[in-house]
Amino acid sequence: MRVLSGIQPTGRPHWGNYFGAIRQYIDLQHGNEAYYFVADLHALTTVRDAARLRQNTFDAALDLLALGLDPEKAVLFRQSDVPEVSELCWLLMTGTPMGLLERCHAYKDKKEKGLTADAGLFTYPVLMSADILAYDADIVPVGADQVQHIEVCRDLAGSFNHQFGETFVLPKAKTLDASAKVPGTDGEKMSKSYDNTIELFEDPKAARKKIMRITTDARPMEEPKEPDGDHLYQLYSLFVGDAEREAMAALYRRGGFGYGEIKKALADAAESFFADARTRRAALVADPARVEQILADGAVRARKKAAATLARAQKNCGLR
């Protein structure tokens, strides 16, 4: 199976990004033909600072490599290094109904809030479709909020195939594990928009301070507590094995502990969990040429595949 996914370089990844998506992307590189790109073209809809976009794009590649993406198993590249995708986007755009894009939730949400929506946001789903179709992707791992965009992609590909003959593979969405919802420091879903995140590669001392400030309830120390539904316990469970998880659940049910004790255990577990990734990232930071070479090699492989798809589409619609 060919798997494809993109990561937007709009900021530093946090625990929610890792457990909700990145970890599952990396797992899919095993036993599949995997393409992963840093979506710098998509990021232009929100990032309007050139230096910041370049740095964020490079950092996103560093993070993926540090967290276990293997360039020997998966193709890693910058979206903008494959210009064939932009040309394919135009071919799709010529047959995209306005009404289809007007129903897409990202555009609708912004309009309903009275915010200005530019053409980039409006046509975002078409560029996303080109990203997917360019590599004949079979599977696209996405969050539940992105499934609609895969349906748009299938609609556009199906319409093109109907008009011009079989051209594109129709992809399927692989909805990421909803159980991986990660609570933030306030107990709500961890999200940059809520300002409640803990970054993956944040300074350990700064991360520990955030953990110690996590919101808790006011139940007395001696009172037994049910661990299920407790966001500190949920966070701790992400970083440990079954034995540690069961021991922590037993402590909750016995009572007689303070939340500070749980927060310290969480900070220790999180620091240990990401220790190897932190070491790998430091080595990559010290060798930026290696990262650039990985991205360049990935772009060559990605362009070869995308060029073949574009040529097929051009021929079928009469451009060649």
| pLDDT over 70, % of the chain | 99
216-256 pLDDT, tens digit per residue, is 988 887 899 999 989 999 999 999 999 999 999 999 999 99
| Domain tally, the chain | 2
Active-site position among 110, 111, 210, 264: 110
67 and 159 both lie in a single domain? yes
* Residue 244 forms part of a structural domain: yes
Q: Is 189 a residue of the active site?
A: yes
Active-site position among 73, 113, 172, 192: 192
* Residue 34 forms part of a structural domain: yes
Range of the domain at 140: 2-181+288-317
* Residue 292 forms part of a structural domain: yes
86 and 225 both lie in a single domain? no
Supply the pLDDT for residue 180. Answer: 63
236 and 301 both lie in a single domain? no
Which regions of the chain are under pLDDT 50? none
Q: Whole-number mean pLDDT of the chain?
A: 94
pTM of the entire structure?
0.93
128 and 207 both lie in a single domain? no
Closest to 123 (Cα-Cα) out of 45, 184, 48, 180? 45
* Residue 188 forms part of a structural domain: no
120 and 262 both lie in a single domain? no
* Residue 161 forms part of a structural domain: yes
Asked if residues 139 and 32 have their Cβ atoms less than 8 Å apart, the reply is yes
Active-site position among 73, 111, 172, 189: 189
256 and 297 both lie in a single domain? no
* Residue 16 forms part of a structural domain: yes
Q: Which tokens is 39 given? A: 């979506």
Supply the pLDDT for residue 145. Answer: 81
Residue position matching structure tokens 């789903």: 125
135-181 pLDDT, tens digit per residue, is 999 999 998 888 999 999 999 999 999 999 999 999 999 988 755 67
Asked if residues 75 and 301 have their Cβ atoms less than 8 Å apart, the reply is yes
Report the interhelical angle of 288-317 vs 147-164 (nearest 10°): 40
Q: Is 181 a residue of the active site?
A: no
162 and 311 both lie in a single domain? yes
Read off the CATH number of the domain in which 120 is found: 3.40.50.620
165 and 214 both lie in a single domain? no
Supply the pLDDT for residue 178. Answer: 59
Q: Which tokens is 28 given? A: 């899919």
